[in-house]
Amino acid sequence: ILIQSTFVRRGQKCLRFKNMFRTGFLVRATHTVLTWGITLILFLHNTDLRRCEERGELLLPLLFFLVVVLSALLYFTVSLMDPGFVLTDSGSNEELEAMIPHPPPRRCGYCLLQQPMRSKHCPSCNRCVRRFDHHCPWMENCVGERNHRWFLVYLLVQLVALLWALHAALSGVSSGVTWDLWFRANGVLLAALAVVGVFSVVVLVLLCCHLYLASINCTTWEFMSHHRISYLKNRDQENPFDHGVLWNLWGFFCICRTVVWEQVYHRTTGTSRTDGTMSEL
Half-sphere exposure of 181 (CA within 13 A, CB side): 5
Neighbouring C-beta atoms of residue 236, cutoff 10 Å = 6
CA angle 183, 160, 82 (to 5 degrees): 115
- The Cα 127–Cα 2 span in angstroms is 39
- What distances in angstroms separate CA 67 from CA 51, 61, 93, 142, 204, one per listed residue? 19, 10, 49, 24, 17
Q: Are strands 141-143 and 134-136 parallel, antiparallel or unpaired?
A: antiparallel
- In contact, 54 and 178? CB cutoff 8 Å: no
Candidates 122, 125, 128, 136; catalytic one: 136
130 and 116 Cβ atoms separated by less than 8 Å:
yes
Question: CA dist 47 to 44, 61, 189, Å?
Answer: 8, 11, 10
Residue 125 among the catalytic residues: no
* Structure letter (DSSP) for residue 142: E
Bridge partners of 85, per DSSP, are 129
Distance separating alpha carbons of residues 157 and 138, to the nearest angstrom: 16
Give me Rg for the CA atoms of the chain.
24
- Residues noted as catalytic: 136
